[in-house]
Amino acid sequence: MSTATAEADLTVQTAEGPVRGKTAGGTRTWRGIPYAAPPIGELRLRLPRPPAPWRDVLDATDFGPWAPQRTRRLLGGASPGTPRSENCLTINVTAPMQPSGDPLPVLVFFHGGAFTSGSGAMGIADGSGLSAGGNVVLVSMNYRLGALGFMDFRPYSTPERTFDVNVGLADQIAALEWVRRNIAAFGGDPGNVTIFGESAGAMSALTLMCIPSAAGLFHRAFLQSPAPSSAYGPELASGFASELLGLLGVGSGGAAEALAEIPANALVDAATQLSKKIIPDAYPGALSFAPVVDGSFLPLHPIDAFEQGRAAAVPMVIGTMENEGTLFEKLDDVLPTNQARIEKMFELTAPGLRDQVIAGYRGYPHKKQAVEIGGDAVFWHPSIQVAQAHAEHAATWSYRFDYAPRTARVAGLGATHGLDLAAVFGTYDSGPGKNLVRLGNKRTAANVAHRFQSALLRFARTGAPGPMWPKYDQTSRRTKIFDRYDRIELDPRASRRKAWDGYRGWR
């Protein structure tokens, strides 16, 4: 490709204006493109608005600032020098170096981070290898987080100042609408869009399947460790909002004015205190920041929507890690991974089911079983609920990711929450991914990553993750196990699955 041609290929005309990218990692990239108006001033805590058009070529060579959040190095989170701003609604595109004659499949990634942290710019989720090796167009974005994106302040609205709910999810829909308008200009096929994500990113994708206004914006979903029960009605959500305002020293009378003026850093500090120090013990198993079942934008709890056949009937892959809870017990203590929290969780959500569930964990209340209960309550069991419900209405595949590099095993983490990010993006050569293989196993990790990536790429191209991976159903419950050697298991953890029967969590 000549220099002139390469430069021309890097300037793309979008519906809003021209953008110029750069080459990086063997791909063409465009970073930090506004997909919505800055959510500041009068637009703080309001639904996203369309971006203002521009005439001059926009420099799209660097990532936009991350949403306001605390410094969090875990799995490549924000460092002290990471730019952060409320003006964060930007989108990134990565495409293969050589343009294709035919439109390419589009993968849209939603980052995780408990709806309080993360960014589309996280190094562990660098999409250059996935795009170049898979011949796909990869999209990532930033969306509003924490109190600014996933808290219900509607009860504090006044005639002068109105607040909306689920604005972080609405940001994601605005990003998908941008993809529909613009991705063809980057070589992508707007008629073949796969949404995928990990943790809160997977929960985002799963929730979008249940939001009417997102219908038709995507065609497949690949969900890595979602927390499907982590969506709450207005009563619980407004209680969390009241707790946050209390931490800020704000009374209900002046809340509207305060919410309009409080610095983002103060909101982040209060949100961190709420999510780390208060909610885990007061409401074990609940997350401080999560989608709100408001009855209109999100009409039903996601699990209810799947069970009633009202979720988008698109092909879906859903799975969890073998040891979801260990990350939280050792590094991020927010789950019910100890006896006190577990007992309180059942007392507040389903006291009549406590003995039934505990019977599935021989050895409880020993730490190992307590940690397993915490991970299963938030991630594994509700994911099984979604898989078995969706399988009645659309093609569904289930997996469990069991592979853990030696570093993770030595640390006592095993195949824990988030370790599949390095696998799906193939980023074992840098940052947190490199640390995972510093004690060896690099070749094995790369082999597992290749198989996991290949399943995602086949799914994006064809709507099925591969011929050696049978669909999930409520009879055989065939599940793909990703490990040093992959295998198919029938109804893995069957006795444990039955032990959770009837549990509904914080709904």
pLDDT tens string 447-494? 999 999 999 999 999 999 998 999 999 999 999 999 999 999 999 999
End-to-end CA distance of the chain: 56
Could you tell me how far CA 389 lies from the centroid of its own chain?
21
The whole-number average pLDDT for the span 123-141 is 94
Residue 8: pLDDT over 70: no
Buried b (16+ CB within 10 A) or exposed e, 39-68: beeebbbbbbeebeeeeeebebbebbbbbb
Distance CA 175, CA 139 (A): 9
Segment 336-387, tens digit of pLDDT? 999 999 999 999 999 999 999 999 999 999 999 999 999 999 999 999 999 9
pLDDT value, residue 5: 42
Residue with tokens 């013990």: 281
| Catalytic status, residue 417 | yes
Tell me, what DSSP letter sits at residue 371? Answer: H
Q: Where are the alpha helices (DSSP H) in 135-263?
A: 146-149, 167-182, 200-208, 234-247, 255-261
Q: Catalytic residue among 198, 322, 324, 372, which?
A: 324
Rounded CA separation 130/456 (Å): 10
| Interatomic CA distance for residues 463 and 389, integer angstroms | 19
Q: Are 25 and 196 in contact, with CB atoms under 8 Å apart?
A: no
Rounded mean pLDDT of the chain? Answer: 94
For residues 458 and 464, what is the distance between their CA atoms, to the nearest angstrom?
A: 6
Q: Is the alpha carbon torsion for 196, 93, 103, 420 positive or negative? A: negative
Tell me if 346 sits within 8 A of 391, measured CB to CB. Answer: no
- Closest by CA position to 308, among listed 217, 397, 202, 393: 393
Arithmetic mean of pLDDT, 225-244: 96
Question: Given a cut of 80, is residue 72 above it in pLDDT?
Answer: no
Spot the catalytic one: 111, 301, 381, 417. Answer: 417
* Predicted confidence band of residue 73 (pLDDT cuts 50, 70, 90): low
Average pLDDT over residues 147-164: 96
Tokens of 117: 């942290």
DSSP string, 233-280: -HHHHHHHHHHHHHHTT--GGGHHHHHHHS-HHHHHHHHHHIIIIIHH
DSSP state of 490: E
> Can 324 be counted among the known catalytic residues?
yes
Peptide bond between residue 80 and the one before it cis (omega within 30 degrees of 0): no
**40-57 pLDDT, tens per residue?**
999 999 999 999 999 999
CA pair distance 208, 171, nearest whole angstrom = 11
pLDDT band at 75 (very low <50, low <70, confident <90, very high): low
| Structure tokens belonging to residue 146 | 């924490």
pLDDT at 76 over 70: no
Q: What is the mean pLDDT of residues 95-116?
A: 95
pLDDT at residue 253 above 90? no
In this predicted structure, what is the pLDDT of residue 383?
98
Q: Does residue 7 surpass a pLDDT of 60?
A: no
Half-sphere exposure at residue 205, Cβ-oriented, CA atoms within 13 angstroms: 32
Residue with tokens 């849209």: 108
Residue 178 has a CB neighbour count (10 Å cut-off) of 24
Could you please report the per-residue DSSP string of 69-134? -----TTS---TT--B-S---EEEEEEESSPPSSPEEEEEEE--STTTS--TT-GGG--HHHHHHH
pLDDT at 1: 46
CA–centroid distance for 385 within its chain: 18
Query: Strand 58-59 relative to strand 104-110: parallel, antiparallel, unpaired?
Result: unpaired
Would the pLDDT of 71 be above 70?
yes
Q: What is the pLDDT of residue 143?
A: 98
Residue 4: its pLDDT value, please? 43
> How far does CA 430 lie from the centroid of its chain?
21
pTM listed for this prediction: 0.96
Task: Centre a 10 Å sphere on the Cβ of residue 496 and count the other Cβ atoms it contains.
Answer: 18
Inform me whether the pLDDT recorded for 2 exceeds 60.
Answer: no
DSSP secondary-structure letter at 67?
P
- Of residues 119, 128, 199, 288, which has the active-site annotation? 199
Q: In the predicted model, what is the mean pLDDT of residues 72-95? A: 85
Residues near 368 by Cβ (< 8 Å), separated by ≥ 6? none
Q: What is the mean pLDDT of residues 286-302?
A: 97
Domains assigned to the chain: 3-499 (3.40.50.1820)
Q: What is the pLDDT of residue 68?
A: 96
Average pLDDT over residues 213-233: 98
Rounded distance, CA 379 to CA 327, Å?
13
Per-residue pLDDT tens digits for 304-333: 999 999 999 999 999 999 999 999 999 989
Cα–Cα distance for residue pair 410/316, rounded to 1 Å: 34
